[in-house]
Structure formats: C-alpha cells, structure tokens
C-alpha cells in the first residue's frame, strides 16, 4: 500500500491519493469532489442527532494535503454545500480555513446541492457546470464527453475489499470518465457494478489500493 497511486489518465500523469483526492502535478492542481459543507447542520436542524465537528475534520484533512505537495489551485467538483449557506459553525470554520489558505485559488463546479453557492460568500471562484482543462472536462455529474476525459463526483463510489465487510471510498476509473470519491466523511455511497476494463482504487486509511480491473 502507498499514500498515492501514480498513473496516466488521458495521457496525463496524475496521482490518485488515498486521502480521497486527485493531484495533477503538471498543473499544480488538487481535485476533490463532494465537500458537502454544513451537511451535519442540515441534519441536526431536521431533528436528527449527529455529532459536531465533521466540517472541521474535513478541513483539517484538506489542510494536510495542501501541505504535502505544491498546489496553486484547488478544484471542487460540485456539492461544495449541502443546503442553505446560513451562518452556522461550519461557516465560521470555513472562513478561518480560507484565510489560512488565501494563497490557493479555489474553483468550484456547480453540483446538485449548490443552489445557495452563488450567495454563500466563501471566497471561491464559481466555474459553472463544466470546465475544459487540457485533456479533461471537470464537472459534477458523471456524464461522458465525446472528446475529453471527464473528472467528476456526485455518486460517492465505494469499494469492497476481500475479507472486509466495510466498504471504502474509491475512485471509479472508466473509459473516458473517472469518478472521484466523496471528500466528506459524512456521506453514503454506492458500490458500482463495473463494466469490462473498469477499475476501482480504494481509499483505505489514507492509502490508495488498486483493485483488479474487471475482465471481459
């Protein structure tokens, strides 16, 4: 096991990080999906008892990654928010975190939970629903593109490892499309049914473990 798995996607060397992110060295770019800021607050307001601290933990993990390699730009592939951007504890945590990393450009693709994002005042650049960047198309939904390799999120892929009951967040590598694991630890997900040649890379305690591609 290793903290990262280096591979070529669409001809570009990238690192799939066991910490649930993709690093693109040539662009000094870090990509994550499904941050879901404030999700626990939304559930608590609905009367569902959940512990606090989820956003703080997610942001601490992100700070650790930003300190491990040179990053000029952080791209969030949708679902930055989860619900309305009210001024709850998570918002104050984000503002403090953003000040600590003011030198990092942050660009966000719109996700299905991001209706309040334009007015949220998070100090990030809103990139719309899709962004073409080199051989890649960044977006939230896993919709293929005729010429570009899509990097996306939305479905929170999970992987089964032999001998383990627990399912782990995973990258789902497909022809022309790669789905990143959810960054937020407070998310459910799906174990996808793989097509021929498709592969999962599991994120197990900050290590990237490549599972065998599905044979024909």
Rounded to 10 deg, the angle between the 54-66 and 89-100 helix axes is 10
Look at residue 212 and give its three-state secondary structure.
coil
Classify domain 4-210 at the CATH topology level: Purple Acid Phosphatase; chain A, domain 2 (3.60.21)
* CA 128 – CA 135 distance, rounded (Å): 18
What would the pLDDT profile of 171-210 be if each residue is shown by its tens digit?
Answer: 999 999 999 999 998 788 999 999 999 999 999 999 999 9
Cβ neighbors of 96 (< 8 A, separation 6 or more) are none
Higher per-residue confidence, 186 vs 213: 213
Q: How far is CA 101 from the centre of its chain?
A: 18
DSSP string for 124-181? -EE--SEEEETTEEEESS----SSSEEEE-SS-BEEE-TT-SSEEEEEEEETTEEEPP
Look-up of token digits 């990030």: 124
All structural domains of the chain with their residue ranges? 4-210
What would the pLDDT profile of 148-180 be if each residue is shown by its tens digit?
Answer: 999 999 999 999 988 778 899 999 999 999 999
pTM: 0.92
Higher per-residue confidence, 22 vs 187: 22
């Amino acid at each position: 096991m290793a903290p990262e798995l280096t591979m070529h996607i669409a001809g570009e060397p990238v690192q799939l990080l066991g910490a649930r992110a993709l690093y693109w060295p040539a662009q000094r770019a870090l990509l994550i999906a499904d941050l879901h800021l404030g999700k626990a607050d939304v559930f608590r307001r609905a009367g569902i008892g959940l512990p606090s601290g989820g956003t703080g933990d997610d942001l601490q993990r992100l700070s650790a990654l930003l300190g491990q390699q040179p990053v000029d730009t952080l791209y969030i592939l949708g679902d930055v928010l989860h619900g309305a951007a009210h001024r709850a504890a998570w918002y104050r945590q984000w503002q403090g975190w953003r000040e600590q990393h003011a030198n990092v450009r942050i660009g966000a693709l719109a996700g299905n939970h991001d209706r309040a994002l334009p007015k949220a005042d998070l100090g990030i650049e809103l990139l719309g629903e899709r962004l073409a960047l080199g051989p890649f198309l960044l977006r939230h939904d896993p919709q293929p593109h005729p010429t570009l390799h899509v990097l996306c999120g939305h479905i929170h892929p999970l992987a089964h490892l032999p001998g383990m009951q627990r399912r782990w967040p995973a990258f789902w590598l497909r022809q022309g499309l790669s789905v990143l694991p959810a960054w937020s630890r407070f998310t459910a997900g799906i174990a996808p049914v793989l097509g021929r040649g498709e592969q999962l890379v599991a994120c197990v305690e900050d290590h990237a473990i490549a599972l065998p591609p599905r044979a024909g």
